[in-house]
Chains A and B, each alone.
Chain A
Amino acid sequence: DIQMTQSPSSLSASVGDRVTITCRASQNIDNQLYWYQQKPGKAPKVLIYAASSLRSGVPSRFSGSGSGTDFTLTISSLQPEDFATYYCQQSYTSWTFGQGTRVEIK
């Protein structure tokens, strides 16, 4: 099974901050990587697919990069509605999610 490791597990940030979350795969997954946002009590929402493609309707302050084993989600200027938990997920072989990164208000 492919393991996905996110870091950090949580972070505190202020509105307007640039936030970076990383995700590492235990083996090469090419660009088969998604990023999700989940708010409490809600289903997750896809932000990024194919590692760097922005899903329709997602604000351009979200961006993704990386290929192979190392990936990054960046929020260029954190907004109040961005406080949530973020997950990476690989689809190279079946699916595996990372453990999540909670973004909290500083």
Chain B
Amino acid sequence: QVHLVQSGTEVKKPGASVKVSCRASGYTFSNYYMHWVRQAPGRGLEWMGIINPNTSGTSYAQNLQDRLTMTRDTSTSIVYMELSSLRSEDTAVYYCARDLGAPGVDYWGQGTLVTVSS
């Protein structure tokens, strides 16, 4: 049974960094790309980027690439999303989502609320 379990709620000050984890279980970790998608309160979905857990290769949204880093630890089946230089506009629920290929994403983490406030 596939599960994606994310780390807990974060509260950060402007200018700080946040690192959110997504622990995968129930499948072969290296076989599926992982996306990160965020959603600000009351707003739409925003794609942040994708990581290949097999190679650690990444692709980031253009507007975030200067502040965003995605990594993975194959020994623990965890992918990480780190966002730096946080601003109030980064307040959102952050989701990891497993990519099934052509049919799209199938499993999602439960979401991690990150609040940026002074």
A residues apposed to B, CB below 8 Å: 1, 34, 36, 38, 43-44, 46, 49-50, 53, 55-56, 87, 89, 91, 94-100
Question: Separation in Å of the B7 CB from the closest CB of chain A?
Answer: 16
A87-B45, A96-B47 known; A43-B108 Cβ under 8 A = yes
Chain A contact residues: helix, strand, loop or mixed: loop
Residues of B within 8 A of A (CB): 35, 37, 44-47, 50, 59, 61-62, 95, 97, 102-106, 108-111
Task: Using CB atoms, name the residue of chain A closest to B97.
Answer: A43
Instruction: Give the residue name and chain of the B residue nearest to A45 (CB).
Output: B108
Residue of B nearest to A87 (CB): B45
User: Does A100 contact B102, Cβ atoms closer than 8 Å?
Assistant: no
Check A46 against B46 for contact (C-beta < 8 Å): no
Given contacts A1-B62, A46-B103, A55-B103, 20 further A-B contacts (CB under 8 A): A34-B104, A38-B45, A43-B109, A43-B110, A44-B45, A46-B104, A49-B104, A50-B102, A53-B103, A55-B104, A56-B103, A89-B47, A91-B104, A95-B50, A96-B47, A97-B47, A98-B44, A99-B44, A100-B44, A100-B45
